[in-house]
Structures are given as C-alpha cells and as structure tokens.
Structure 1
C-alpha cells in the first residue's frame, strides 16, 4: 500500500471537515472518529465491495496518521502504549482485509471509543 497516496486520498475525502482547522487536538479527534467510523462500517455483513475498499483505505490511513503523530520523547509510556493499541488495530484490519474471520474489529472499535472519550477530556 502506498501510504503517501492513501494519505492524499484520505485528506481529499475529509477536506470539508478539516478545512480551516489548524488545531492539532481537533485533527487527532477527527482522525480517531474516522477510524472508529470505518471500523464500525467494516463490521456490516452487507457492506458493498467498493465501500469496503474505501473504509479499509481510510482506516489504514487513519492508523498511520495516529501512529506518526505520536511524540515518544514527550509522551513516554503513554505514547508507546497508544502506538501498541494502534498497531493492534492495524493488525486486526489486515486480518479482516484478508477475510480472516478471527479479526477483532469490534474490540478495536471499543478501544478507539475509549481513547476518543479520554482524548475529549484532555482539552
């Protein structure tokens, strides 16, 4: 997967929601919410193939953005733990993309929702 291309496509698809926003906290909030939305939609048994591809693309891009936005020097153990959680979600997405029925997308969605709640309390 070409991450530069995926990130570019993700930015284009989310342009309306992000335009005018330079607040890093808000950008992370939107990225977390997008990842949670994609995880939720990917669990639908009736999802169309084209939509499924788009959700996977957006989800992988969101994970990439979240992982690369971590500051390990300032964030220390919290940043390391978040990286591990995002990596777990990435691995589960990879399993689901490969039609592995053991993929735990619901668990990832629950983890993300907890992170979203905690992130919302920070600001």
Structure 2
C-alpha cells in the first residue's frame, strides 16, 4: 500500500507541529517527518510500558502514515540503489512496528529507533553537504 507524502505529513502535523512546513523545502520536510516519527516512537514506548493499548494503536497508525510519506518522497528513478535501500528500510520499519504492536514488544521499537535515527542523521548530513 503506497501512501503519498501528504498523508505522511498530515500524520506528522497531528503530532503537534506548527506551520513550519508551509515554507519548508523537501529536505526540511523530510527532516520534519523523521522528527515527528521519532517523537511518536517515544510515545509508543510509553503507551506499551503503561499498557495504554488504544493509544499505542493510534501512535502506530500515525507512524505508518509518516513512513508512507517518507517512502513517497523517494525518487526511485533518480535515487537508484540508495533510494531503493531506503524504501526497503522504511518497509522493514513498518513490519517491525506491526510486530511491536501485535506483541507489545519494545525490542521491535528499539530496532526501529536505531534504523530511523541513523537515517535521520544521514539525511541531516546530506543537508549540511548541500549547504
């Protein structure tokens, strides 16, 4: 199921972002999606720990929409192997989130945190290199 960037961004906006995105370029927008995703990931950790499973489900849904937005931002033609690798990592994170949700297992959350933090740092590095 392929979602568009607007769906992912809408999910992120609902995690309490202000109007920064209105004037953001794609690089900043993707960084905002990473920020929103990682913020929501911390909420999921708390929801699982505190056994707030209804809230956990809402957070997982938001993160899945953000992943869809991140995936939609990839240019698989121009990005080649790098873009395809990122797509696979997003897919892996989505599967891990589903497992975390089904099993209430924080090990899956930790795995997603590691992948997404590394991708976020790489994306920040791309911005610095372009500047």
Give 1:46-85 correspondences, 5 Å limit.
46=50, 48-85=52-89
Q: 1:72 to 1:46 in 2, by over 3 A?
A: same
Structure 1 contact 95–102 (Cα < 8 Å) conserved = no
Deviation at 1:95, TM superposition (A): 1.2
Q: Which moved more, 1:39-48 or 1:103-112?
A: 39-48
Give 1:43's aligned residue.
45
Deviation at 1:100, TM superposition (A): 5.5
| TM-score with structure 2 setting the length | 0.77
Structure 2 contact 12–62 (Cα < 8 Å) conserved = no
Give 1:103-122 correspondences, 5 Å limit.
104-122=108-126
**1:75-98 CA distances to partner (integer Å, 9 max, x unpaired)?**
111001101110000001111222
Q: Is residue 102 of structure 2 the alignment partner of residue 101 of structure 1?
A: no
Number of aligned residues: 121
Greater than 4 Å deviation, 4+ residue runs: none
**1:32-73 CA distances to partner (integer Å, 9 max, x unpaired)?**
111122222212301534432331121001110011111011
In structure 2, the gaps of 5 or more residues are: none
Structure 2 contact 31–123 (Cα < 8 Å) conserved = yes
- What secondary structure is seen at the aligned counterpart in 2 of 1:43? helix
In structure 1, the gaps of 5 or more residues are: none
Structure 2 contact 67–94 (Cα < 8 Å) conserved = yes
